[in-house]
C-alpha cells in the first residue's frame, strides 16, 4: 500500500477521534474530497508527495503532505485555532498505519491565505512524515 494512502487514512481516523477538533469543526469534517454543499469550517487533504528513504535492508519513505483548514469566519482566528489543534495531534503522534510504521511525524510549516472574494480563510499545514515498510 502507498504510504500516502496509509497516512491519509490514519490521519483522518486520528483527527475525527478528537472531540475538541470535531467540536471546532461542527462534526467529523475531515475530507479527502470535499462533498458538495459542505460548509466551513472543514479540513481537506491537499498536496502529497512521497519519495524513497530506504536503506539497503529496509524500505522506507519520506512523505510531504498538506492539510488545508477552510474557515468562513472573519479573520484568521478560527482557521489558526483549528490548525493549532491539528498540529498538537500530529506532532510525534503514534499513528497505526496499514503496511507501514510511522518513524517521525511533524508539522513543518503553517501558511495562511485569505480569499476575500469568497469570504474564506485557508490555513495550510505542511507535514513531513517518515515511514518504514513493515
CB atoms within 10 A of CB 48: 18
CATH number at residue 78: 3.30.2000.30
Cβ 105 vs Cβ 95: under 8 Å = yes
How confident is the model over 105-124, as pLDDT tens digits? 999 999 999 987 788 999 99
Q: What is the pLDDT of residue 119?
A: 85
Range picked from 50-54, 71-75, 82-86, 114-118 for highest mean pLDDT: 82-86
Share of the chain above pLDDT 90, in %: 80
Three-class DSSP labels, 53-109: CCCCCCCEEEEEEEEEEEECCCCCHHHHHHHHHHHHHHCCCCCEECCEEEEEEEEEE
pTM (2 d.p.): 0.91
Structural domain containing residue 125: 3-133
Q: Say if residues 70 and 41 touch (Cβ distance below 8 Å).
A: yes
pLDDT attached to residue 117: 74
Tell me what pLDDT residue 56 has.
Answer: 72
Higher pLDDT, 54 or 63: 63
Q: How many domains does the chain have?
A: 1
pLDDT at res. 79:
96
Is residue 21 helix, strand or coil? helix
Q: Say yes or no to pLDDT of 127 above 90.
A: yes
Asked if pLDDT for residue 28 goes beyond 90, the answer is yes
Which residues 6+ apart lie within 8 Å of 90 measured at CB? 11, 14, 105, 106, 107, 125, 127
Torsional sign, CA 83, 26, 32, 14: positive
Q: How far apart are CA 5 and CA 97, in angstroms?
A: 9
What was the pLDDT predicted at 126? 98
Nearest residue to 14 (alpha-carbon basis) of 79, 99, 105: 105
* Terminal-residue alpha carbon distance, the chain: 11
Amino acid at each position: 500500500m502507498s504510504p500516502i494512502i496509509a497516512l491519509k487514512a490514519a490521519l483522518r481516523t486520528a483527527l475525527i477521534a478528537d472531540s475538541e477538533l470535531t467540536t471546532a469543526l461542527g462534526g467529523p469534517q475531515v475530507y479527502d474530497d470535499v462533498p458538495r454543499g459542505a460548509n466551513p469550517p472543514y479540513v481537506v487533504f491537499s498536496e502529497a508527495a512521497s519519495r524513497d528513504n530506504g536503506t539497503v535492508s529496509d524500505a522506507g519513505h519520506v512523505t510531504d503532505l498538506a492539510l488545508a483548514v477552510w474557515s468562513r469566519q472573519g479573520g484568521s482566528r478560527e482557521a489558526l485555532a483549528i490548525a493549532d489543534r491539528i498540529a498538537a495531534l500530529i506532532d510525534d503522534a503514534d499513528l497505526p498505519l496499514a503496511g507501514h510504521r510511522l518513524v517521525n511525524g511533524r508539522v513543518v510549516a503553517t501558511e495562511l491565505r485569505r480569499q476575500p472574494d469568497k469570504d474564506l480563510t485557508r490555513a495550510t499545514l505542511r507535514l513531513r512524515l517518515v515511514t518504514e515498510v513493515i
